[in-house]
A and B are shown apart, each in its own frame.
With several copies, the nearest count.
Chain A
Amino acid sequence: MSVRIHEQDFDVSAEMAAMRKDNPKIGAIASFVGVVRDINEGDSVATMTLEHYPGMTEKAITEIIDQARGRWEVLDALVIHRVGTLKPTDQIVLVIVASTHRGDAFAACEFIMDFLKTRAPFWKKEITPQGARWVDARVADDQAAERWKT
């Protein structure tokens, strides 16, 4: 289990290969990559800056992974979140969950991503032709996290 916050890009293949090599019980690897879009809320986005709360970020994500491990069989999990300035088509976040079977891998990966979106202290600021603006939290993200309570 690993959580990393940094400015540099990540390599999905390399991270998955490291997991596979470490554990021959892994049969299923689900992953999610968040990407900077060139349009948000109808405006074109030139660049985006990600701020975070060092220390709390790692703690919050570790707790989310631990919750996922309590609900599903998780053989390995990794979260990488970039900070600093990014541009459209850049990778922002990576979540990888490895399990024996795919149902657990998919569910735990989506769970981690939903809670990361609503619990992990990151904030996005977009530069658009209309100037810089802080991105507003989405109601849809709260709803996505809420549905795991059932």
Chain B
Amino acid sequence: MITLLYFARLREALGTGREELLLPSGINTLGALRAHLEQRGDAWAKEMAAGRNLRAAVNQSVAMADTPIKDGDEVAFFPPVTGG
């Protein structure tokens, strides 16, 4: 299982802030996970599309498409940050 977190505009668009997911076999990078989520269709297809300016973190560190993902990880997707 991995923990998936969604924040801000993305959380509202997907209608959820958190889910637990059994990592499908063959999905072992952030990029592959994002493509997998995109295939859920509807809001997921729109928000996870390659053209959307999304940021992500794996275990609370900034992550890129080739960042490895493994069972037990905390993976977060979010829009560009706007604090301060």
Contacts and interface: CB of A to CB of B under 8 A. Distances in A.
Interface in B66-82: 76, 78-82
A53 B84 contact: no
Interface residues of A, number: 29
B61 interface: yes
Contacts, number: 72
Nearest to A134: B9
Given A53-B5, A117-B83, 20 more contacts: A53-B78, A55-B60, A56-B76, A59-B60, A59-B61, A60-B60, A93-B84, A113-B84, A119-B62, A120-B81, A120-B84, A121-B7, A122-B83, A122-B84, A123-B9, A123-B78, A123-B83, A134-B8, A136-B80, A137-B82
Contact of A92 (B79, B81, B84): B84
Interface in B1-41: 5, 7-9
Interface of A: 34, 50-53, 55-56, 59-60, 81, 92-93, 113, 116-125, 134-138, 141
B7 A116 contact: no
B57 interface: yes
Nearest to B12: A134
Contact of A53 (B9, B57, B80): B57
Nearest to A126: B82
A55 B18 CA distance: 15
Given A53-B5, A53-B7, A137-B79, A121 B84 contact: no
**Residue in B8, B61, B84 whose Cβ sees the most chain A Cβ within 10 Å:** B84
6 contacts: A53-B76, A56-B76, A60-B62, A92-B83, A121-B83, A137-B82
